[in-house]
Amino acid sequence: MEELFGNADAGEITGMLLKMNNSSLLKLLKSPELKSSVREASFGRQLYSLVEALDDTADAGKITGMALENEDSALFELLDSPEKLNYYVVEATRVLKAAAATEEPSAATTEGPAERTTRGCCRGTCC
């Protein structure tokens, strides 16, 4: 929605909406982008603060993003049940750690300049 309204505050946005003709306003209100933005803002803010309090890593944003991929009913359950939210955070953290562990070995096989010197062929003098 930022592309529509930029960094405008609520009063400015309301003013912009009031200036729109009815058909344009209805089209905007029915747009999937608006629904998605409103959904992410409403669930995302609530979840992020709760996840951040439970997660001692810097992954609260990633975990919140993962949660937002779920249906609304699942998000309501996470918000209503501290036990379910805690379980979700623990599982999401485990998944993120596992993904990071599988990415590390593949990073060493890339062909960037730093990695080429680890081949041992010339100790960095030819590559």
Per-residue pLDDT tens digits for 18-63:
888 888 777 776 777 766 677 677 778 888 989 999 877 788 999 9
Task: Confirm if 53 and 64 have CB atoms less than 8 A apart.
Answer: no
Residue 20 to residue 116: CA distance in whole angstroms: 58
Looking at the domain assignment, is residue 125 inside a domain? no
Q: Is 55 helix (H, G, I), strand (E, B) or coil?
A: coil
Residues 72 and 22 in one domain: no
Q: What are the residues whose beta carbons fall under 8 Å from the beta carbon of 35, sequence distance 6 or more?
A: none
- Identity of the residue numbered 83: E
Residues 71 and 15 in one domain: no
Looking at the domain assignment, is residue 127 inside a domain? no
Looking at the domain assignment, is residue 126 inside a domain? no
Residue 36 to residue 5: CA distance in whole angstroms: 16
Residue 127 to residue 122: CA distance in whole angstroms: 8
Q: Which residue has the tokens 């982008």?
A: 33
Residues 8 and 66 in one domain: no
| Model confidence band, residue 72 (pLDDT cutoffs 50, 70, 90) | confident
Looking at the domain assignment, is residue 53 inside a domain? yes
Residues 91 and 114 in one domain: yes
**Tokens at 4, concatenated:** 């529509």
Looking at the domain assignment, is residue 4 inside a domain? yes
Domain that holds residue 77: 40-119
Split into its structural domains, the chain has a count of: 2
Question: 105 or 19, which is more confident?
Answer: 19
